[in-house]
Amino acid sequence: MKLYSTHNKDLSVSFQEAVFNSLPADKGLYMPEEIPRLEPFFIAHIAQYSLQEIALKVAQAFIGNDIPAADLKALVEDAINFEAPVKFLSKDTAVLELFHGPSYAFKDFGARFMSRVMGYFSKEETDLLEVLVATSGDTGGAVALGFLGVEGTRVTILYPKGKVSKVQEQQLTTHGQNIRAIEVDGTFDDCQALVKQAFNDEELSKKLRLTSANSINIARLIPQTFYYFWAYAQLKSQGISELVFTVPSGNFGNIGAGLLAYKMGLPVNKFVAATNLNDTVPRYLVSGSYEPKPSVQTLANAMDVGNPSNWVRIQDLFDQDLSEIQGMVSAYSYDDEQTREAIDRLYKDFNYIACPHTAIAWLASQAYKKEHAGRYASVFLSTAHPCKFPDAFPAEVFAEITLPEGAQDYATQEKQATAMAVDFEAFKSFLLA
Ligand SMILES: Cc1ncc(COP(=O)(O)O)c(C=O)c1O
Ligand SMILES: N[C@@H](CCOP(=O)(O)O)C(=O)O
C-alpha cells in the first residue's frame, strides 16, 4: 500500500512510514494512492461472514503484503474481539452499537488495531515509541487501553480541562505505567494543534520517535471502515440492502471511514453527519464556504471540535467537488436542549438509553427521513456507552443502565495529570524531559 499527502499527490510513502510519521511534513494527511474495490461477489454474499472475517478482508485489501496474511489475520482477531450489533428500534430504524469494546466507545476499533500494527512494525526497534494523542473524551481512553503495558511505548494524552466527563477523565488519568495525561487549559482544538505542532518541530522529531494515535493516523481510519461493512452484512442477512448511515461527528474520522468504505464498493444511499453546535461542516455544506470557528462546549463533549481534521480527507475522496460531496453527505446540527429531548424520547418511546452523541445521531436520522421518504433502513451509529455520561440523564434513568464490566473500577483509582496552559514550549519541554 502506498500513500500520498492531501497536499502533494506526488508524494509516495509506504504504509509503515505513514503509520509512524502520522502526518506528512507538508501538513496534509496521508491518503491511499489507490482505494481498493472489494469484489461485487464478496459484497453480494457478505451476510455469510463474521465481523472478524470481514475486517480481515477489508484490512487485506488496503494493506496487501505489507503485513503477511497469517500475521494480519492474528492481528485482526486479537484487535477486533468484541461485538458490534445492529438493533432495530422500529421497522425501518436501527442502531449500530459500537461501544462493546474495553473503553466503551467506538474508538476501540481504531485504537486496538493501530496499537497492534505499530507493535508488529516495531519488533526490531529499540527506541521508545512516543505516542501522542489529543482527545475530547473518548480517543484518549481507548488509546490508553490499547497501549497499556506495551513495552517500548509511552503514551501522552492531552485533554481539555473541565471539558470531558468524569468517567472519561478517569479513563484518561488513572492508568499510570506507560500512560501519562496532560490537562490542558484550553479546548480540544488547542490539544490537537499542540500535537500537530510537535510533529512539525525539528528538534522533537530528531530526538524522539513520535507518532500520533489520533484519526489523522491512517492506521486508525482503516479499522473504522470494518463496522460499516459489518452493519451492511447484518442488514443483508435480514433481506435489507438499501441503507442510510447517520454518524455522530466531531473530528469527522468516523464518517470519513464510512465514505472510504463507500468508495470501496459498499452500497450506501447516503451518509448523514450529525453534529452538536460545533457545526463547521453542516454550515459548509450549505454555504460552500469552509469557516471553522472556536469549539463550544456541549453535552456531547466528544464532538466539541471546531476545526475537524478529517474534513480534508473527505474533500480529497471526492476530488474537492462540493456538489459530489453534497450528493453523498447531508448534515444536521443540534443544541443541548434538543439533545436532552432526544435522550428522553429514545428512552420513553423505544426504551433505549443513548449517550448524547448517539441521541444527536438519532435526531439527524429522523430529520433526514422526514425529508427523504424511501424504502431504506436508517442506521444510526451509537458511538459510546451511556454509562460514560452520568450527567446527561436523570438519576432514575441512569440507574437503569447496566454498567459494563470494570466500569466501576476507575472511580477507585487516583487521578494523575499534569496541568498545562496552551503553550507549545511547555509541551515540548515536557516531552523532552
Ligand atoms: C462518543 C463519540 N461520538 C462521536 C465522536 C465523533 O467522531 P469523529 O471525531 O470521528 O467524528 C466521538 C469522538 O471522536 C466520540 O467519542
Ligand atoms: N472525539 C474524539 C476527538 C479526537 O478523535 P480522533 O478520532 O480524531 O482521533 C475524542 O473522543 O477524543
pLDDT digits (tens, 9 = 90+) for 180-209: 999 999 999 999 999 999 998 999 999 999
The reply to whether ligand 2 has any atom less than 6 angstroms from the CB of 253 is: yes
User: What is the number of the ligand closest to the CA of 137?
Assistant: 2
CATH number at residue 254: 3.40.50.1100
Distance CA 257, CA 62 (A): 13
Q: What is the pLDDT of residue 103?
A: 96
| 239: in domain | yes
| 115: in domain | no
DSSP 193-253: HHHHHHHT-HHHHHHSEEEE-STTSHHHHHHHHHHHHHHHHHHHTTT---EEEEEE-SSSH
CB 55 within 8 A of CB 75: no
pLDDT score of 75 more than 90: yes
pLDDT score of 272 more than 90: yes
Q: What is the pLDDT of residue 407?
A: 82
| 101: in domain | yes
Give the full edge-to-edge strand order of the sheet including 2-5.
Answer: 8-14, 2-5, 30-32
pLDDT score of 227 more than 90: yes
| 319: in domain | yes
| 132: in domain | no
The reply to whether ligand 2 has any atom less than 6 angstroms from the CB of 214 is: yes
Domain that holds residue 350: 69-106+219-398
Pocket test for ligand 2, best of 22, 113, 136 (most atoms within 8 A of CB): 136
Distance CA 295, CA 275 (A): 12
Give the nearest ligand 1 atom to 249 CA: 11
**Predicted confidence band of residue 124 (pLDDT cuts 50, 70, 90):** confident
Q: What is the pLDDT of residue 168?
A: 95
Q: What is the H or E stretch that residue 138 is in?
A: none
The reply to whether ligand 1 has any atom less than 6 angstroms from the CB of 253 is: yes
**Predicted confidence band of residue 262 (pLDDT cuts 50, 70, 90):** very high
- Outline where 249-389 has alpha helix (H): 253-263, 280-287, 311-317, 322-328, 336-350, 356-371
Q: What digits encode the pLDDT tens for the residues 351-372? A: 999 999 999 999 999 999 999 9
Q: What is the pLDDT of residue 266?
A: 98
Pocket test for ligand 1, best of 103, 222, 254 (most atoms within 8 A of CB): 254
CA-proximal residue: ligand 2, atom 4 (nearest): 135
The residue type of 109 is: F
Mean pLDDT over residues 226-232, rounded? Answer: 98
Task: Find all residues with CB under 8 Å of 11, minimum gap 6, and list them.
Answer: 3, 4, 5, 24, 26
Mean pLDDT over residues 263-275, rounded? Answer: 98
Q: What digits encode the pLDDT tens for the residues 387-412? A: 999 999 999 999 999 999 888 888 88
Mean pLDDT over residues 283-305, rounded? Answer: 95
Q: What is the pLDDT of residue 410?
A: 81
Set of cell numbers at residue 90: 422500529
Q: What is the pLDDT of residue 126?
A: 87
What number of other Cβ atoms are within 10 A of residue 51's Cβ?
21
Q: What is the pLDDT of residue 405?
A: 86
| 427: in domain | no
Q: What digits encode the pLDDT tens for the residues 144-181? A: 999 999 989 999 999 999 999 999 999 999 999 999 99
Q: What is the pLDDT of residue 13?
A: 97
Q: What is the pLDDT of residue 238?
A: 96
Per the structure, the count of domains in the chain is 1
Q: Please tell me the distance between residue 358's alpha carbon and the centre of ligand 1 in angstroms.
A: 10
Give the nearest ligand 2 atom to 310 CA: 8
The reply to whether ligand 2 has any atom less than 6 angstroms from the CB of 138 is: yes
Mean pLDDT over residues 102-111, rounded? Answer: 97
Q: What is the pLDDT of residue 205?
A: 92
Q: What is the pLDDT of residue 299?
A: 97
Give the nearest ligand 1 atom to 388 CA: 1
Q: What digits encode the pLDDT tens for the residues 85-97? A: 999 999 999 999 9
Q: What is the pLDDT of residue 409?
A: 84
| 421: in domain | no
Q: What is the pLDDT of residue 378?
A: 98
Give the nearest ligand 1 atom to 358 CA: 3
| 235: in domain | yes
Find cell 509503515 and name the residue: 16
Give the nearest ligand 1 atom to 254 CA: 10
**Predicted confidence band of residue 46 (pLDDT cuts 50, 70, 90):** very high
Mean pLDDT over residues 238-258, rounded? Answer: 97
CB 245 within 8 A of CB 269: no
Q: What digits encode the pLDDT tens for the residues 295-352? A: 999 999 999 999 999 999 999 999 999 999 999 999 999 999 999 999 999 999 999 9
Distance CA 301, CA 105 (A): 13
Mean pLDDT over residues 237-253, rounded? Answer: 97
Set of cell numbers at residue 133: 494523542
Q: What is the pLDDT of residue 412?
A: 84
